[in-house]
Structure 1
Amino acid sequence: MTESDVAYGAKSKYTEVKARAYANRDARRNIPELRLVARAFQLIPKPARVLDVPCGGGRVTVLLGQLGYEMSAGDYSDPMRQITRETTAANGLKVEIFKEDIEQLSQRDQSFDAIVCFRFFHHLPNAELRRKVVGELCRVARRHVAMSYFNPRTLRALEQEIRKLRGRKLTVFNTSLAEVSAYFAEYGFRLVKNFRLDLINNLHLAVFERAPR
């Protein structure tokens, strides 16, 4: 089994039971993260067609739909897509939902005004995969990409490194803003603004835009 195969445990682990457990976690845990997404999207003007990929249980899709964006969603996991269908329908939203492999999106070039990719990038263990994923996001986005990542210069990241030194296997991979920005620059995107969840957590959300030629 290669390192890429291990990384994509995130791709295949969401069975029906695990997907439901993830989607039904304590809603209070979602509040700070959804506020973070809402803050970032203040930089992305409406009207806009937005693709949420991978969409998980659809919480970001619902949030942005309620904020007035025209939403579509995609995920590799069949149970996650079904949960998103249920979640969006329960909130009165009509959302087109696709089966998507984020390494090779099925969407046309620049077919969405913006893409949001939330709580996924930290699963990628090496530069090759990270560059490939960023390339696909940039290919499909006409103007903006909002993508979260785990920043290594945080207290939470330090805790993870200490656990690693004690022999625990890490299942998340921290990446600096400089590294993330460099991948986007390769595809003609520049950083607009970086947002952090709080002073402790390593979850950050960066907004990038297509640079003018």
Structure 2
Amino acid sequence: MNVLDRKFRPGLNGSRRMGQDRETDEAAGAILAKPVNYDADVAAYELATKPRYQNPGFAERYLAGYAGRLKLSTFASYVIARREQNCIAKALETCSPLPSQILDIPCGTGKLADVLIRHDCQVMAADISMEMMALAKTAYEGRPGFQGFVRCDVTQLPMANESFDTVICLRLIHLIPPHLRRKIINELARVTSRRLIVSYGLASRFQRIRLKLRNMITGRVSAPHPVDFSVAREDFSQAGLKLVRSFSILPLLSCEQVFVLEKA
């Protein structure tokens, strides 16, 4: 039994064994952990996101936005990505004890690979998008401590309880509709034994105005579901998590805030 097998739950919702629901995708080199018993809300949300994130063209543009040649059109993405990497590095450095087993979900195209591998720990990368993970192979594969890719849905993770001491969830929650947000936070809390590092889009008055203006000018909604800080704290509390520290990505250019949470 390899390290991946040990981390998978023997079954989902007591119905079917995960061994019957796992395949391997050659392009991304990922284990496909197929969720069972999807509820209608989750299925509808995935259907709405599939044309965007599970699209090879979008995945390539996403990677080029922070890892490609710096251009005026990608400047904001480049700067925000560097700040995200720096904030995650600081968050990890302030953890005690230091993380040894990390789940990076959604891993996207491998934005955090260099940061996580530098910390001399085992890392599993997961995402629902095979197209994203296919590009993340360059960043992750062959690196010391890398445990592999898993395609899974964050609303129904195939991992066993407390499989990791640290779970990192960057740039996801601000995209999640309210009726699924707490379900996801609870699921992330379930698979960590110690801490969750997660980013939210915070809806201050200034950020609401900024996001509205950006939408009017560009037609893009970068954070469709920002929340008030009080709502975020309620999410953490109901999941049995306490706030330890937080980091602002770029207060004037981004509503993104990274929270370091520990199990209460």
TM bin (shorter chain): 0.7 to 0.9
Q: Secondary structure at the match of 1:137?
A: helix
Aligned partners of 2:261 and 2:205: how far apart in 1? 22
The aligned counterpart of 1:203 is 256
Question: What is the deviation of 1:35?
Answer: 0.6
Question: Pick from 103, 108, 111: which aligns with 1:56?
Answer: 108
In the TM superposition, 1:168-179 aligns within 5 A as 170=221, 172=223, 173-179=225-231
- Unaligned 5+ residue runs, structure 2? 1-39, 68-77
Aligned partners of 2:105 and 2:196: how far apart in 1? 11
The aligned counterpart of 1:194 is 246
Aligned partners of 1:207 and 1:162: how far apart in 2? 30
1:113 and 2:165 matched: yes
The aligned counterpart of 2:87 is 36
Question: What is the deviation of 1:157?
Answer: 3.2
- CA deviations on 1:37-85 (whole Å, 9 max, x unpaired) are 1112223232520000010011113311122222111000111121122
The aligned counterpart of 1:25 is 65
In the TM superposition, 1:18-167 aligns within 5 A as 18-27=58-67, 28-29=78-79, 30-44=81-95, 45-89=97-141, 94-126=146-178, 128-153=179-204, 155-162=206-213
Aligned partners of 2:164 and 2:86: how far apart in 1? 23
* Range with greater deviation from structure 2 (148-157 or 7-16): 7-16
- Evaluate the alpha carbon distance shift between residue 158 and residue 190 of structure 1 in structure 2; reply closer, same or farther with a 3 A threshold: same
- Unaligned 5+ residue runs, structure 1? none
Aligned residues between the structures: 209
Question: What is the deviation of 1:160?
Answer: 1.5
Contact 1:11–1:76 under 8 Å retained in 2: no
Contact 1:73–1:98 under 8 Å retained in 2: yes
Question: Pick from 41, 52, 67: which aligns with 1:13?
Answer: 52
* Range with greater deviation from structure 2 (71-80 or 54-63): 54-63
Structural RMSD (CA): 2.6
Question: What is the deviation of 1:24?
Answer: 1.9
* Range with greater deviation from structure 2 (63-72 or 130-139): 63-72
Aligned partners of 2:58 and 2:160: how far apart in 1? 31
Q: Secondary structure at the match of 2:155?
A: coil
* Range with greater deviation from structure 2 (7-16 or 106-115): 7-16
Contact 2:101–2:166 under 8 Å retained in 1: yes
Contact 1:51–1:72 under 8 Å retained in 2: yes
Aligned partners of 1:95 and 1:62: how far apart in 2? 14
Question: What is the deviation of 1:195?
Answer: 1.1
Aligned partners of 2:199 and 2:168: how far apart in 1? 8
Percentage of matched positions with identical amino acids? 24
Contact 1:150–1:175 under 8 Å retained in 2: yes
TM-score of the pair, normalised by structure 1: 0.86
- Evaluate the alpha carbon distance shift between residue 195 and residue 86 of structure 1 in structure 2; reply closer, same or farther with a 3 A threshold: same
Contact 2:85–2:115 under 8 Å retained in 1: yes
- Evaluate the alpha carbon distance shift between residue 8 and residue 131 of structure 1 in structure 2; reply closer, same or farther with a 3 A threshold: farther
Amino acid at match of 2:159: Q
Contact 1:152–1:158 under 8 Å retained in 2: no
